[in-house]
Amino acid sequence: MSWELLLGLCALLLLVVQLLRFLRADGDLTLMWAEWQGRRPEWELTDMVVWVTGASSGIGEELAYQLSKLGVSLVLSARRVDELERVKRKCLENGNLKGKDILVLPLDLTNTSSHEVATKAVLQEFGKIDILVNNGGRSQRSLFVDTSLDVYKELIDLNYLGTVSLTKCVLPHMIERKQGKIVTVNSLMGILSVSLASGYCASKHALRGFFNGLRSELGAYPGITISNICPGPVQSNIVKNALTEEVMKSVGNDGDQSYKMATSRCVRLMLISMANDLKEVWISDHPFLLLAYLGQYMPTLTWWLSSKLGKRRIENFRSGMDADFSYFKPLKKKHD
């Protein structure tokens, strides 16, 4: 066999292997590689002080449970202190932590004047902050033409400015120590956009732009990692809590969530990203993951597809179903 033929066969084999990896993936291929060959959260994240916002529900709550098994010190923040206390109790029941290892710290991300005091409280309690997980946030289910401007302001104040503000309080401390991780739960909607969530998509695009810019300003601090986590649909209360046409009116029900990724799987992949200092990860089942990849290589085709899906989402929404429910249900698989 000539060496050209051998080379050709190897290239083909590589392509087939990559394709198979992609079809089985529920995250981008770098993340899948890190899960297989990378550092384990169980080795890397112990003894750290981790501050999680939005820890009273959904992804943040599950993150608290999985982190509490790794032996970290935890700071749990959100607005509802009773829910945070519930999460703390469950962490203590199932994890390896003692009461003094968990600080419940009520925080409203939109009240930026309280962020400095909150940061001081964490430093006073634990002496350092190794990881800030910017997770708190709300989504949107409403058409732009029907939605008040106040909803757009609220989404920017909460998802974008609230996160920027807290980061501004914590970063000087990390710069002083020349180390730390700022992990932000963004979304695939920080990369692509869909109907019924234009304000949410804008806030998540803004966050991604901000953190990518910040990262490039921190070149002199290789010990500080800026990480954007972009999940697709994940089981949580996000739809229930989503803003609608008016600020004071949220969706109020979850709809069918069975087609979404299990919260525990999403959080496990987040921990793997943190342990391996990945700068941006996509955590999602197909076809959302496929769309994210397509969007990078074939933007015009992807926007054509998105507008088809967008129409369907709006029809679902109007008939009272979760926006994505009907067309992706048959593709549901593995991991939950």
Ligand X SMILES: *[C@@H]1O[C@H](CO)[C@@H](O)[C@H](O)[C@H]1NC(C)=O
Ligand Y SMILES: NC(=O)c1ccc[n+]([C@@H]2O[C@H](COP(=O)([O-])OP(=O)(O)OC[C@H]3O[C@@H](n4cnc5c(N)ncnc54)[C@H](OP(=O)(O)O)[C@@H]3O)[C@@H](O)[C@H]2O)c1
Judged by beta carbon distances under 5 to 8 A according to partner kind, the member of ligand Y, ligand X, none in contact with residue 237 is: ligand Y
Cis peptide before 330, with omega less than 30 degrees from 0?
A: no
Q: At what angle do helices 163-177 and 115-126 cross, to 10 degrees?
A: 40
CB nearer ligand X, residue 113 or residue 300? 113
Q: Is the dihedral of CA 45, 49, 51, 55 positive or negative?
A: positive
Least distance between ligand Y and beta carbon 15 (Å): 31
**Phi, psi dihedral angles at 65 (to 5 degrees):** -65, -45
3-state secondary structure of 283: strand
d(CA 166, CA 114) in angstroms, rounded, equals 9
CB nearer ligand Y, residue 27 or residue 233? 233
Rule CB under 6 A: which of 72-111 touch ligand X? 111
3-state secondary structure of 3: helix
d(CA 151, CA 198) in angstroms, rounded, equals 11
Is 79 one of the binding residues for ligand Y (CB under 6 A)? yes
Is 114 one of the binding residues for ligand X (CB under 6 A)? yes
Site string for ligand Y, 217-246 (x = CB under 6 A): --------------x-xx-xxx--x-----
Distance of CA 59 to the CA centre of its chain: 8
CB nearer ligand X, residue 32 or residue 103? 103
Query: Which residue from 14, 117, 298, 301 is in contact with ligand X, where contact means CB under 6 A?
Result: 117
Look up 200 and say whether it is catalytic: yes
Judged by beta carbon distances under 5 to 8 A according to partner kind, the member of ligand Y, ligand X, none in contact with residue 117 is: ligand X
Judged by beta carbon distances under 5 to 8 A according to partner kind, the member of ligand Y, ligand X, none in contact with residue 113 is: ligand X
Helices (H) and strands (E) in the chain, counts: 13, 7
Residues assigned a catalytic role: 200
| Site residues (vs ligand X, CB under 6 A) | 111, 113-114, 117
